[in-house]
Structure 1
Amino acid sequence: MKSQDNIERILIAVEDSPYSDQAIRYGVMLAKKMGSQIAMVHADEIPVSTPYIADPMLSETPLMIPEMIEIQEEASKNLFKRIVEQYGEGIMITKFIRVGRAQDEILAVADEYNADLIILGTHGRTGLDHFISGSVSASVAKRARCPVLIIPKKEA
């Protein structure tokens, strides 16, 4: 576990969701108050193990996985552009775009970045939905080498 004397480096896990936006707002506010550096990580998971993505029942044109990865990369860049425009005034944000399981990539970037704190949002899934999709936030919290702050789902 890292020293609790000072939080110099905050890693915020981001995705394109309201849950992530809550985590970003909190992380940026905390970083500004503490004078911390901020990094953000977005992980794109490859959705299937076959080289094609299409639904033959809908007569869709197959999409090759390399094309899908390019589309996901572009979406990640657009996500970071929106985040910087919306939250980045007066702060520098280091950005990491990774391909792989979200929890594995968040933890790998936390180690690479030497994060003192990881912040991420949670969808608040329970029951069968939680069992099927798992919980990225719970997995990160169990395996992280630094403290993890999980921002809960809040109804508007």
Structure 2
Amino acid sequence: MISPENIHRILIAVEDSPYSDQAVNYGVLLAKNLGSKITLVHVDEIPISSPYSADPLLNESPAMIPELMHIQEEASKLLFKKIKEQHGDVVEISSITKIGRAQDEILAVAEDCQADMIILGTHGRTGFDHFISGSVSESVARKAKCPVLIIPNQDKK
């Protein structure tokens, strides 16, 4: 069992949303208190249906439009810059951008950077929305080799 003093590397999955902001704020506070380093990961999902998709039955990989990749890369850089400007003086922060299925890429980065903990936010979808879109946080929590902290949606409507 992992104890708090053994949490040296925290991976925080980020996107440009209030849910992600809550996870980052919590992760930074935790890292500051534990003296941990943070790695941010932003995953750009591959569009499922496009003229540039390949046939998964033939084991073909989808091709990405170069312009789309560039736009996604720039958006990731801006997101990381914003987070580092807000929290970079509090804790050490590095960042990684990946393209693929969010849950798969988050788990791969966690393994690569030897994360002691993964933190991510959740949209709090239930019912049909959850059935259709699935839950990245749920999938990561089930498959991760380290503790996963899911920060719930605090948006009260």
Confirm or deny a common fold (TM above 0.5): yes
Letter of the structure 2 residue corresponding to residue 91 of structure 1: V
1:78-107 deviations in whole A, cap 9, x for unaligned? 110111112222322110100001100100
Ranges in structure 2 where 5+ consecutive residues have no aligned partner: 53-63
Q: Secondary structure at the match of 1:38?
A: strand
Ranges in structure 1 where 5+ consecutive residues have no aligned partner: 53-63
1:16 CA drift (Å):
0.2
Change (3 A) 1:66 1:48: farther
TM-score, normalised to structure 2, is 0.87
1:51 CA drift (Å):
4.0
1:109 CA drift (Å):
0.3
Pairing of 1:20-99 with structure 2 (within 5 A): 20-51=20-51, 65-99=65-99
1:52-89 deviations in whole A, cap 9, x for unaligned? 6xxxxxxxxxxx72211111111011110111112222
Letter of the structure 2 residue corresponding to residue 153 of structure 1: N
What is the percent sequence identity of the aligned residues? 67
Letter of the structure 2 residue corresponding to residue 82 of structure 1: K
Letter of the structure 2 residue corresponding to residue 36 of structure 1: S
CA RMSD after TM alignment: 1.7
Q: Secondary structure at the match of 1:118?
A: strand
C-alpha distance in structure 2 between counterparts of 1:126 and 1:120, whole Å: 17
2:8 maps to 1:14:
no
Letter of the structure 2 residue corresponding to residue 102 of structure 1: A
CA contact (8 A) 2:44 2:100 kept: yes
1:6 CA drift (Å):
1.2
Partner of 2:114: 114
C-alpha distance in structure 1 between counterparts of 2:35 and 2:126, whole Å: 36
TM-score, normalised to structure 1, is 0.87
**Number of equivalences:** 145
Q: Secondary structure at the match of 2:106?
A: helix
C-alpha distance in structure 1 between counterparts of 2:74 and 2:40, whole Å: 16
C-alpha distance in structure 2 between counterparts of 1:112 and 1:49, whole Å: 29
